[in-house]
């Protein structure tokens, strides 16, 4: 059974947003709880959902992954992500219904493999969420010309990431900009493949700025 941690908004706050946190391969849901609480500090009206991955990582019960990394390569990466996207959609839709939050007020926040899943989810299902914050992540396959993407995308990457090169984030930014998708890219100096306090703060700030920009656009 999949472990899912749920946290309501801060006391006396109505639920205005839903944040779904997707962890890295080889971790578990608990690894994303500190980041979730840091986000709620900036967004007190957000409900937090922190699920664990769908399968075991190297047969270790406390370590999970969203899709298998065994023999993972460029030829099968997209197929493996696509195979689990229906389950991601089911998870997000269920939480949207439970918390009575619209898709445009839903944010997917993922680290490493979880970030890849978040990016590919809104590429495949444009109406699933209003924004993605992807840390140290990449697309399994860059969006093609004509791809519809409604979500705002915020990429945060370590300058010296040796697991997922910053080049992937830079390519993603160029591809998304070419599609006129609102996108930001922050390269954190002297950071490797890690989800640090600085990175979390940068991503949550970009998300906040994006929400305000969208609100201003609707007032004109």
Closest CA to 131 of 163, 101, 108, 159: 108
Give me 65's structure tokens: 């992954």
Indicate if 193 belongs to the active site. yes
pLDDT band at 195 (very low <50, low <70, confident <90, very high): very high
**DSSP H or E segment with residue 96:** helix 77-99
Indicate if 112 belongs to the active site. yes
Helices (H) and strands (E) in the chain, counts: 5, 9
The pLDDT assigned to 62 comes to 79
- Architecture of the domain whose range is 4-218: 3-Layer(aba) Sandwich (3.40)
Q: Which of 105, 157, 161, 204 is catalytic?
A: 161
Q: What is the pLDDT of residues 7-22, one digit of tens each?
A: 999 888 899 999 999 9
DSSP state of 135: E
Q: Which of 112, 154, 157, 204 is catalytic?
A: 112
- Paired with 109 in beta bridges are 21, 133
**DSSP H or E segment with residue 45:** none
């Amino acid at each position: 059974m999949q472990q899912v941690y749920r946290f309501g908004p801060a006391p006396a706050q109505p639920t205005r947003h839903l944040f779904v946190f997707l962890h890295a391969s080889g971790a578990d849901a608990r690894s994303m709880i500190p980041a979730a609480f840091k986000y709620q500090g900036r967004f007190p009206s957000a409900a937090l959902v922190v699920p664990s991955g769908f399968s075991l990582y190297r047969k270790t019960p406390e370590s999970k992954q969203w899709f298998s990394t065994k023999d993972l390569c460029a030829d099968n990466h997209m197929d493996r992500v696509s195979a689990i996207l229906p389950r991601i959609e089911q998870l997000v839709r269920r939480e949207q219904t439970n918390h009575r939050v619209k898709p445009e007020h839903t944010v997917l926040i993922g680290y490493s493999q979880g970030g890849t899943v978040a990016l590919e989810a809104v590429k495949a299902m444009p109406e699933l969420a209003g924004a993605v914050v992807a840390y140290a992540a990449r697309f399994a396959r860059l969006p093609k010309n004509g791809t519809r993407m409604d979500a705002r995308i915020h990429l945060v990457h370590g300058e010296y990431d040796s697991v997922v090169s910053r080049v992937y984030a830079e390519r993603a930014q160029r591809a998304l900009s070419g599609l006129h998708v609102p996108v930001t890219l922050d390269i954190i100096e002297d950071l490797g493949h890690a989800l640090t306090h600085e990175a979390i703060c940068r991503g949550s700030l970009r998300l906040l700025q994006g929400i305000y920009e969208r609100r201003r656009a609707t007032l004109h």
